Structures are given as structure tokens and as C-alpha cells.
Amino acid sequence: MPDVRNLLAIGCLVALVGLGSVAAVAKEAQPAFDDPALEKRVLVIAEELRCLVCQNETIAASHADLAVDLRKQIRLKLKAGQSKQEILDFMVVRYGDFILYNPPLKANTLLLWLGPFVLLLAAGWVLVRNIRGRRRTPGGVDWSPEQSQRARALLDEGTKGR
């Protein structure tokens, strides 16, 4: 007969898991807004801004708390009559050029634009150097002609026995 305490513990665990999933779903629910045109403008601006938490998503696509707050801030600024450029300028002043999903080409963003190409060239150089080094010394070892001949003889001997 099952122990009552075990059944009670399992029931509590199931209830906690169920409540946790309900809370997670409730957090992701988006409120319905009265003005769809305003929401469209918010999303257009949010598509140009990088989520500072996720860093590989726009704030329009991100569910991070900061992204939600920034979308609310954009909404409030649009309601206050600010233009798209004014809002983008505000975000750049507050968070730097990194918040822009496509930052402008300036001296301080040069690394963002050229960094991937520099890394690609460096990786290519290392690869070519590695391949050329292996061609010069087979197996990475310089053998004398006698050593090579002995190794060849041992390999030939091993294949004849099969």
C-alpha cells in the first residue's frame, strides 16, 4: 500500500510544476493595445534596436524584461509626439551605438564592422600556415632516409601478414 506522505509529496510537486508553467505562460502574454497603428510604429522602431540582454535579437523579437521596458518607453515617446529619429537618438545617447542593430560606420564602431573580416583573415592565415607546415614535414617529424626506409619496411611487413 502506498505511503500517504509519498502521495502527498507527489501531489504537491505536480501542483508546483503546474503553477510554474502557468506563471511562465502568463508572463509571455502580450496585452491588447487600443491603437494598432501605434503598435506598428513601435515595432518598426524596435526592429532597429538591439536587445542589450540577448544581443542577437532586436527588442521587437526579444522577451527579456529590458526589451519589454524599452518597447514601453518607445510607445510613451511616440504618444508624446517624438519622431522615430528623436527616439533612436535618445537610445544611442543612453546606451551607445551598440544598441543600434546596424550601427553607423564611425571610428568607435570600426571594430564592429571590420572585426569579423579581420578574424576571418587571421583564421585563413593560420590554416594556410598549418597546411604548408604539414606538407614540408610529413607527420610533423623530420626523418632521415634510413628511418624512412625502416618505417616503410615495417609497414610492408605488417601488410604481408594479413
Residue 9 or residue 73, greater confidence: 73
Farthest CA pair distance, the chain: 88
Mean predicted confidence (pLDDT) in 100-124: 88
Across 6-15, 28-37, 131-140, 151-160, which has the greatest mean pLDDT?
Answer: 151-160
Mean predicted confidence (pLDDT) in 75-104: 91
Looking at residue 49, its pLDDT comes to: 94
Distances (CA, A) of 40 to 35, 71, 86, 124: 9, 11, 17, 44
Beta-bridge mates of residue 100? 49
pLDDT beyond 60 at 2: no
DSSP state of 49: B
pLDDT beyond 60 at 138: no
* 3-class state of residue 58 by DSSP: strand
Q: Are 40 and 33 in contact (CB under 8 A)?
A: no
Is the four-CA dihedral 72, 74, 77, 79 of positive or negative sign?
negative
If phi over 0 gives left and psi between -120 and 50 gives alpha, with beta otherwise, what is residue 62? beta
Across 12-21, 44-53, 139-148, which has the greatest mean pLDDT?
Answer: 44-53
**Percentage with pLDDT > 70 across the chain:** 75
pLDDT beyond 90 at 16: no
What span, in angstroms and rounded, lies between the C-alpha atoms of 122 and 104?
25
pLDDT beyond 90 at 85: yes
